[in-house]
Amino acid sequence: MPDLTGYDLVLASTESALNSSIAYANFWKVTINCQLNPDVSAEQSPGLVGARISAPTLRLSGSDLASNQAAVSLLFTAGSLQYFDVIYYRTVSQNIAGWTIVFAANIGQGAIPDNTEIGQLPAEVQNALSNQRLSVGQLFLELSTVVWANVTITDADGKRVTDAIITSTLETALQSWARSIESAAQQWVLNYVVTSSGGPGNASGEVLADLVPTSYDFSVSKYNPPGTYDDLSTLNYLMMTEGRGAPTANSAGIFDFNWVAGPNTQQYQGAVAINGPLFDGAYVEPLLLPAIAAAVSATKPTSAGGSTGNPGVPTFTRTGPGQWSTSQSVDLYGNQHGGKGQKLEGLGLLQAVYQNITEKLDCTVTLDPASATYQVKVTYSAITTITVEFFGWDKTDSSFSGDYVLPWSFDVRLKASSNGSLVTESTEVQEGESSSKTWGNSFVGDIWATISEVFSSFLNTYQTQFQDKAASVSQSAFANVSDELESAMGDISAAIVFPAGNRFAYKDVCFDPQQNLVAYVTYLN
């Protein structure tokens, strides 16, 4: 997929999903009762149209439609048309049950002002506002733009109705009906974009407010190639956040790919896309990375006398697209004895023995877009440096260092749960430790066989303690980071509501090559 053409969020709803949503909404129960030509003479009987219409259906695809139009199909489930036949000079009643009228209408948009009386809004929106959510705007059919002379009328057998008197009577009735809808400010609403003002919880709610749209536009993506899966054409809600203006390029909102591509994805009713940098700023950096940092830094050493370095919780730095790293180092005894460390006992030719311990944490987080997984690599390392001073030698000191490295890694994957919410799944990988020993002076290396027992106890004892400490903490850290991330991702699941007030269920989650988050969805209702 290419980028989002400058928009922060895109919600693409398929044609089939729109029609399902329209059918579900109770305000689509439409009745037409229209008396035409009331001023004509009584013997001619004024034209009458009485009918019930099922939920309209929309068509977004087709070369006959502009990019801002939808073809609307009205099916008369019951009704009759009465008109005066001037040829035979008689009143004729025509059954129109099963007839279909198709016309093209522009799609318009409008915002719901803050001072709107809640009682004037449809039930879906009233419910959303009563739950302290924010309604951003609405899309509706501009019936005033319909060219009624161009409507297509077919009978119950699918045959085109061409009788001029019948078509003229129906067209006039529809115009009158459309004017009554507009005069009553009852626009034919297609869908609402409704989103919460933040997820549950104070801290996460403030952060997730960055994902709340503040303005929106729309576009239509016709399925390509045409004539294959036209019902997967999408009506795209194009949203900006944080009060930022929408892109002005001619290409904005025009996508050269199918948001929901058949046949393998026909079970999806739409897709949600979040701009990669926006997702990083709203979720990854304020929520995911601190949770990881707090967990993995649990092995930080307790400040000892003479320690140098900062043992606090580390901060991640972005090193590239989808990449972050942090490092933390502490010298436990670095300020003692001129930097040599803690003084130990001397022995024989040894005037003094000093020990310093450096503990280090290195951590990288890398996004794997294909699997929607954040790969966390942690390395705990400890360097024990022993400095010895000899009596009677020109070169009075030398050093021995022992390195101990404990690598640890885990993956944090974004996925859809069985109940349709966004969740994280963490998988731990415990890797084998390694160690090494190095002498800093060749002479001391030669006599190592004689004095090794003196130093081995220092190293072995510490390495055992460090290994136990790191292994124990990594287990608790893994559990902690899993809980933290699960809670934060739950906030995102609750933060967005699909058009028409229906919460949607996530079915699949991935990142595109530009690292935008893309989730396929179906309606919960």
The first and second tokens of residue 423, run together, are 């969740």
Q: Do 378 and 296 meet the contact criterion of CB atoms below 8 Å apart? A: yes
For residue 175, which of 155, 147, 139 has the smallest C-alpha distance?
147
Question: What residue numbers bound the domain in which 43 lies?
Answer: 9-274
H or E element at residue 123: helix 123-130
Which of 240, 257, 274 is the last residue in one of the domains? 274
Most distant CA atoms of the chain, gap in Å = 136
Residue 25's contacts (CB-CB under 8 Å, 6 or more residues apart) are 55, 122, 124, 500
Same domain, 180 and 293: no
- Looking at residue 524, what DSSP letter applies? -
Same domain, 291 and 262: no
Which of 243, 274, 305 is the last residue in one of the domains? 274
User: SS3 string of 162-185?
Assistant: CCHHHHHHHHHHHHHHHHHHHHCC
Same domain, 86 and 129: yes
Residue 223's contacts (CB-CB under 8 Å, 6 or more residues apart) are 61, 229, 230, 231, 232, 233, 258, 262
Same domain, 287 and 247: no
202: in domain: yes
Please, is 13 exposed, middle or buried when counting C-beta atoms within 10 Å of its C-beta (0-12, 13-18, 19+)?
A: buried
496: in domain: no
Rg of the chain in Å (alpha carbons): 35
The first and second tokens of residue 298, run together, are 């649990």
Amino acid at 227: G
Q: CA-to-CA distance for 169 and 83, rounded, in angstroms? A: 7
Report strand pairing: 517-523 vs 504-511: antiparallel
Is the pTM here over 0.85, yes or no?
Answer: no
H or E element at residue 84: strand 69-85
369: in domain: yes
Judged by DSSP in three states, 104 sits in: strand
Q: CA-to-CA distance for 175 and 36, rounded, in angstroms? A: 11
Same domain, 212 and 353: no
Same domain, 330 and 410: yes
Same domain, 232 and 289: no
What's the total number of domains in the chain? Answer: 2
Residue 258: its pLDDT value, please?
92
Q: CA-to-CA distance for 113 and 242, rounded, in angstroms? A: 18
Q: Do 252 and 238 meet the contact criterion of CB atoms below 8 Å apart? A: yes
Residue 37: its pLDDT value, please?
43
Q: CA-to-CA distance for 298 and 475, rounded, in angstroms? A: 11
CA dihedral 182, 188, 189, 190 (to 10 degrees): -150
Q: CA-to-CA distance for 504 and 524, rounded, in angstroms? A: 5
506: in domain: no
List per-residue pLDDT tens for the chain, 525 residues long. Answer: 457 999 998 988 899 888 877 776 544 445 555 544 434 333 444 567 777 777 788 899 988 888 888 898 988 888 888 877 777 777 888 898 999 999 998 887 765 544 455 555 555 445 544 444 444 456 777 888 888 888 999 999 999 999 888 888 888 888 887 777 665 545 565 654 444 444 444 344 455 667 777 777 888 999 999 888 899 999 888 888 876 788 888 888 899 899 998 766 668 888 889 999 988 988 888 878 887 887 777 555 444 444 555 567 788 999 999 999 998 888 877 777 777 777 776 555 566 777 777 878 889 999 999 889 999 888 877 777 777 776 655 444 455 566 666 677 888 888 887 777 777 777 776 665 565 555 444 444 444 444 555 556 656 666 666 666 656 655 665 666 666 666 655 555 555 544 444 566 788 888 988 899 998 888 765
Q: What angle do CA 298, 299, 305 make, to 5 degrees?
A: 115
Beta-bridge partners for 511: 517
351: in domain: yes
507: in domain: no
Q: What angle do CA 490, 495, 497 make, to 5 degrees?
A: 120
Same domain, 241 and 293: no
Please, is 43 exposed, middle or buried when counting C-beta atoms within 10 Å of its C-beta (0-12, 13-18, 19+)?
A: exposed
Same domain, 71 and 19: yes
Same domain, 300 and 266: no
Dihedral sign, Cα of residue 290, residue 293, residue 294, residue 295 = positive
For residue 92, which of 189, 17, 165, 157 has the smallest C-alpha distance?
165
Which of 245, 274, 303 is the last residue in one of the domains? 274
Same domain, 114 and 221: yes
Q: CA-to-CA distance for 439 and 437, rounded, in angstroms? A: 7
Q: CA-to-CA distance for 379 and 296, rounded, in angstroms? A: 10
User: How crowded is residue 183: how many other Cβ atoms within 10 Å of its Cβ?
Assistant: 8
For residue 11, which of 299, 196, 240, 189 has the smallest C-alpha distance?
240
109: in domain: yes
Same domain, 234 and 258: yes
347: in domain: yes
